[in-house]
Amino acid sequence: MKNYEHQERVFKLSKDLQDFAIFWEQGTGKTKLALDTACHLRRKGEINALFILAPNGVQRAWIEDEVPKWVDVDHAAVFHTTSKMHTLRGKRELTDVMVHDFPIVAMSYDGIMTKKGSQYIAKLLRTHDAMFVCDESTAIKSASAKRTIRVLAAGKWAKYRRIMNGTPIPNSPFDLYSQVNFLIPNFWRERGFANSAVFKNYFGIWETGTYKEPKVTKSGKVLTEFKFVKGYRNLTELNGYLTSISDRVLKADVLDLPPKVYSKRYFELSAAQKKAYREIRDDALTFIATGELLTAPLAITKLLRLQQVTCNYLPSEAQERMVDISPTNPRLNCLETLLEEVSHGCIIWARFRRDIDLITNLLGDRCVRYDGQTGEEERATAKRRFQSGDVQFFVGNPAAAGFGLTLTAARTVVYYNNDFRLVNRLQSEDRAHRIGQEHPVDYVDIVCPGTVDSHIVKALRNKVEIAAAVTGDKLKEWL
C-alpha cells in the first residue's frame, strides 16, 4: 500500500535517525511508519531485531494485524503474554523466535514488569542490534514509577528507539520528561535538567498551600504546607525541544486519510472464564454429534451463551439475573485501557444491558446512556449533550440507538461486543460517519481471540448475516 503524504514525508526525515518520537493522533498511520522504518533499517543491516512494548491487547494486534500487512522482509514474529510463559507451546514460541535472523517480539507493559518477561526481553536486547518501539508511551510518563524505571533501563540496550503516542501530554507538560528520557537517555540532562524535579520547577508555576490539619508522614515528619502547580511557563522553549526530535500530525490536518479506520483490541479470558467456555462449547459439540436438527435460533442461542462468558457472566439457574464468573472482568479492563488513549468524542456500542450498566458505572458523569432503559426525553437529552460536547462518551445499544441518530461528535467508535444482526452493525457504524462529520472515524472492536468474538467480528466486517450463516455443521467452525 502506498504511503500517504505525511507518512512518506516523515519516513524520509526519520528513517535513519537513532531516536525519534511519532506524536501522531490515533488513526493517522504511525504503526506503519514504525514498521516501515524497521524494515528499512533491517535491509541496511543496521538492526537484526524489533521489540515493541504496548498496552495489554495492543501487543497482539501488532503481531497479528499490523506486522503481516507492513513488514516486507524475512522475519519471525511473536507476541508475549504472561500465560505463554506457563505453557510448553508458549515457551517454545518465545524461544524459537529468538534464534531467527530477524525476530519481532511484542510485549505489554505489564509483561515487562514480570520477572520472566523482564529476563526475556533483557536477553533479546543484549544479544541483538534492536529497534525498540514504545507504543502509547504515556504508560511511562511517571518518572518515579517502577514500570518507568524498568522500561528506561531496558531501552538503554536498544540501538534505535521510537516512542509513539497520539496524546503525549494527557495531563501536563511534565508527562514528557520520562518519555523523552527513554528516547534519548541524556536529552534533558544535556539541556540543564538534571532530574524531574528541576524539569518541573522550570516549566511549572508553583504555589504553596497550607494543610487544614498537619499531615504526618510514615517517617514521622509533620507537614503543614504543600506545593501545587498553578500553571505552566516556558512552553515555547519546551515545544522547541520536542520539535527537534519528533513529528506531530492531527487528523484534521491530514486530508488524504481514508474516512474509516478499523482496528482491534485483544484480551484474554480468566481461568474461570476459560473453564466455563470449554464446558459450554463441549456441550454444543456433543449436541451436534448426536445428529439432532440444529436450527438457526438454537445455534444462535448457543453462540450467545459463549459470548456472555467472554463478557464474564452467565444467567443464574433460574435465569432471573446474571451471575459474574470471575471477580475481574478482562473485557471491561481492556475497554478502560483503550479509553485512556481517547481524548475526543467516542461512541461505545454494547449488546447486553449488563454491559451497558458496567460501562456507565465505569465512566460515571463522563457519559450518557441510550438503550432500552432510557425514556424518550432522556434519549433526546443524551444525544444533545453528546453532540454539544458536554460529555465525552455515548454508551448505547445498536438495536436502540443505531438507527436515525446523528452522532458526528464522535471520532472513535468502540464495539465492546457485537450482536448478530448485520443491519445493526452497518447502521451503528453510520451514526458517526455521515454528513456533518469532518474527521476520519476509528472503529475499534474489542476481541477475545480463539472465541466466538473473532468469528463474529470477521463475519460482520465481511457483511455476513450471522443468523442465516450459522446452522448445523457450520456451527462447528465457530466453536
Q: How far is CA 170 from CA 136, 144, 293, 343, in A?
A: 11, 17, 55, 8
The answer to whether 396 and 416 have CB atoms below 8 angstroms apart is no
Q: How far is CA 72 from CA 28, 37, 163, 294, 397, in A?
A: 21, 11, 22, 45, 40
The pLDDT assigned to 303 comes to 85
The pLDDT assigned to 107 comes to 95
The CATH number of 5-186+245-253 is 3.40.50.10810
Q: Which amino acid is at 19?
A: D
Q: Residue 326 and residue 137: Cα distance in Å, rounded? A: 30
- Per-residue pLDDT 10s for the chain (479 aa) are 678 889 999 999 999 999 999 998 776 788 999 999 999 999 999 999 999 999 877 888 899 889 999 999 999 999 998 878 788 888 899 999 999 999 999 999 999 999 999 999 999 999 999 999 999 898 999 999 999 999 999 999 999 999 998 878 866 889 999 999 999 999 999 999 999 999 999 999 998 878 778 888 878 888 888 888 888 899 999 999 999 999 998 866 775 544 678 899 999 999 999 999 999 888 877 766 665 545 556 777 788 899 999 999 998 876 678 899 999 999 999 999 999 989 999 999 999 999 999 999 999 999 999 998 888 788 889 988 999 999 999 999 988 876 667 788 999 999 999 988 887 888 788 788 765 677 888 999 999 999 989 888 888 887 776 766 665 556 666 76
Q: How far is CA 245 from CA 16, 38, 248, in A?
A: 13, 18, 10
The pLDDT assigned to 166 comes to 82
Q: Residue 370 and residue 379: Cα distance in Å, rounded? A: 6
β pairing state of 441-447 and 260-266: parallel
β pairing state of 222-232 and 204-216: antiparallel
Q: How far is CA 400 from CA 32, 384, 407, in A?
A: 37, 16, 14
Q: Locate 441 and state its grid cell.
A: 472515524
Strand partners, 21: 163, 246
Q: Which residue, 18, 322, 7, is CA-closest to 159? A: 18
The CATH number of 260-267+325-478 is 3.40.50.300
Q: Which amino acid is at 338?
A: L
| Domain edges within the chain | 5-186+245-253, 188-234, 260-267+325-478
Asked if 5-186+245-253 and 260-267+325-478 have one fold, the answer is yes
